[in-house]
Amino acid sequence: MSKPSLTLKLATPRGFCAGVDRAIQIVERALELHGAPVYVRHEIVHNKHVVDRLKGLGAVFVKELEQCPPDRPVVFSAHGVPKSVPAEARDRKMFYLDATCPLVSKVHVEAERHHNEGREIILIGHAGHPEVIGTMGQLPEGVVKLIETAEDARTYTPVDPKNLAFVTQTTLSVDDTSEIVGILQSRFPEIAVPHKEDICYATTNRQDAVKQVAAECELFLVIGSKKSSNSQRLVEVALRGGTQVAHLIDDATQIDWDWFNGVSTVGISAGASAPENLITDVIAAIGARFETEVHETGGVRETVVFKLPRVLTEASA
């Protein structure tokens, strides 16, 4: 029997971003230089497959520094950490490597600058996300106020409406954040804005790529972890863009083939912490059941590369 036909629209770019790639390389290089085990505080990035592969190489993932012996290297995740974490590591004389994405570090610097200039600081983000915890933890408790929704922006009451600033989590929905920022700027015209967009280039590019094809797809699959903010946002963007059904899946094993009933065009993207092999596995799994015609969208070509910490590059040299 011949297989039914199916068109696949691959949103480009998709998958790994420069910050994720750098964080993974930091753990790998630390293992090469220092041997196993290397400890990692929290998941280095939000992807089970990445974490499991690094575990296989000798990485040990922990929740807090107190679980790490003082004589082994420890890596901080790409999402960033409160200032108290490296301070504790220094007190214990630990060798630590900070894998915080440089674009997250930029937000940290902005928040500190606003605080030093006496402004009240708003952080637009999702409560409980590691990046938000890390950003709020750059300053004394209570200094940074979190706004999650447009309604929060409408009801927020600052101490001094003329002395405000905002920063944002880097992995938010561009459209949702624009709405929140618009409300804040309408209510507080003098609010200080970031020198450059806080939402990172990779988040923006992946959302734009999904928007390009969403309306043409009856079904959209986003490969990524449910813990991953940027992956969750891609599902939302696909649905808003006109896709009838969208699902977030860890890998090909989570595909429900009933989703494909009556479907002729499927969109595929992947969050910034999803490795390429997961994408190819999904395409192969679909190809085993359907006669597929694959179309790659012409998206932005990403050339950003972030340098590894000098202590790793010098040791390698």
Note the pLDDT tens digit of each residue in 146-200.
Answer: 999 999 999 999 999 999 999 999 999 999 999 999 999 999 999 999 977 888 9
Pair (90, 112) in one structural domain: no
Arithmetic mean of pLDDT, 84-92: 97
Pair (264, 249) in one structural domain: yes
Summarised one tens digit per residue, pLDDT across range 6-56 is 999 999 999 999 999 999 999 999 999 999 999 999 999 999 999 999 999
183 found inside a domain? yes
Pair (94, 165) in one structural domain: no
The secondary element (H helix, E strand) that includes residue 175 is: helix 174-187
306 found inside a domain? no
64 classed as catalytic? no
310 found inside a domain? no
72, two tokens: 């082994």
122, two tokens: 């708003």
Residues of the chain with pLDDT > 70, as a percent, come to 99
Domain end point (choices 54, 74, 101): 101
Residue 317, pLDDT > 80, answer no
Q: Let me know: does 244 contact 276? Beta carbons within 8 Å.
A: no
**Dihedral angle over CA of 6, 12, 13, 15, nearest 10:** 0
Residue 179: domain span = 103-187
**Triad 127, 132, 135: Cα angle to 5°:** 145
Domain end point (choices 81, 101, 121): 101
State how far the Cα of 279 lies from the Cα of 264, in Å rounded to an integer: 19
**Structural domains in the chain (count):** 3
Return the pLDDT at 297: 87
Q: Single out the catalytic residue among 131, 148, 276, 293.
A: 131
The pTM of the full predicted model, rounded to 2 decimals, is 0.95
